[in-house]
Amino acid sequence: MLKIGDFSKLSRISIRMLRHYDEIGLLIPESIDPATGYRYYSETQLPAANRIHALREMGFGLSVVAEILKTYRDPEALRQYLLLKREEILEQEEKIGRQLLLLETAITRLGKDENVMEYTVTLKEMPERTVASLRKIIPAYEREGILWEQLRRELGPQNVQFATPCNALAIFHDNEYKEIDPDVEIQISVQGSYQNTENVVFQTVPAVQIASATYQGSYEQVGEVYQAVANWVKDNHYDFDGSMFSIYHVSPAETRNPDELVTEVCFPVKMK
């Protein structure tokens, strides 16, 4: 019989963890001295301890280790556990790789751009959603309000219910900046089914991966925000993949104070 200290050395499991394994029934001592409470282990328990140690080193939690130990003599069952853990670790590795790249590019950019954290760029996915859409050529970007007014008028008779969150956004379809006659589409998320109107189309738009930056204040700073997103896309090895759009979290319809506006600039992207 082995004292717990000797068994700890041989199994490479700390005394604290051996006591914990005993408490949860994972590795119970061969005997316990009723007078002193000392735990004693058998040499024949070392293979089980080694299996536990090996599985823990692979990253398995204790509850899963307990399940594996019940079926470890079944090669196919063990193989399935190992394959699932490998897939989980590979996903973690990919996530950590993205995080490291984000950190490295932020550190590099910090030396070049003092405003790097002023407009923080994030990568995320906008889910599939149902929208009321209106697309037209308008005289200029600053005249976008005429689209929203027309949308409001045409939605009114149907008592349209807006979704939560109610993303109100404008998509800019031109391949370049246009001083006059830009092609602009506005969308607002809705729930339910409705009939198209003269100018408004109800449609389901697919999920899209975007690089976005949210800022507060007037639209005059949008050029700096575009630059921040462009830098992020280049530094993180993405390509632009579609028409950019802006989500109006706090719009001119909600406040007359430009300092209270909250806008999210979004660029669809894909990995190179």
Pair (65, 134) in one structural domain: no
Distance CA 56, CA 26 (A): 12
Is residue 101 one of the residues assigned to a domain?
no
Residue 115 has pLDDT above 60, yes or no: no
Pair (126, 236) in one structural domain: yes
Cross-strand partners of 271:
238
- Out of 42, 58, 73, a domain closes at 73
For the segment 53-70, the average pLDDT, to the nearest whole number, is 92
Residue 118 has pLDDT above 80, yes or no: no
Q: What is the pLDDT of residue 117?
A: 47
Q: What CATH number is associated with residue 12?
A: 1.10.1660.10
Distance CA 169, CA 243 (A): 12
- Out of 73, 101, 131, a domain closes at 73
Residue 104 has pLDDT above 60, yes or no: yes
Total number of domains constituting the chain? 2
The stretches of 59-144 forming alpha helices (DSSP H) are: 62-71, 75-110
Enter the DSSP assignment of 15. Answer: H
Let me know: does 72 contact 51? Beta carbons within 8 Å: yes
Q: Which residue has the tokens 């339910």?
A: 192
Residue 50 has pLDDT above 70, yes or no: yes
- Out of 16, 44, 73, a domain closes at 73
Distance CA 191, CA 201 (A): 14
Residue 95 has pLDDT above 90, yes or no: no
Is residue 106 one of the residues assigned to a domain?
no
Q: What is the pLDDT of residue 106?
A: 66
Residue 71 has pLDDT above 60, yes or no: yes
Element (H, E) at 54: helix 46-57
Pair (126, 231) in one structural domain: yes
Is residue 95 one of the residues assigned to a domain?
no
Residue 168 has pLDDT above 90, yes or no: yes
Indicate the average pLDDT of the chain: 90
Range of the domain at 10: 2-73
Element (H, E) at 17: helix 15-23
Residue 114 has pLDDT above 60, yes or no: no
Pair (68, 126) in one structural domain: no
Residue 33 has pLDDT above 60, yes or no: yes
Is residue 178 one of the residues assigned to a domain?
yes
pLDDT digits (tens, 9 = 90+) for 190-247: 999 999 999 999 999 999 999 999 988 888 888 888 888 888 898 888 999 999 999 9
For the segment 155-170, the average pLDDT, to the nearest whole number, is 92
Q: How many residues does the chain have?
A: 272
Q: What is the pLDDT of residue 111?
A: 61
Q: What is the pLDDT of residue 110?
A: 66
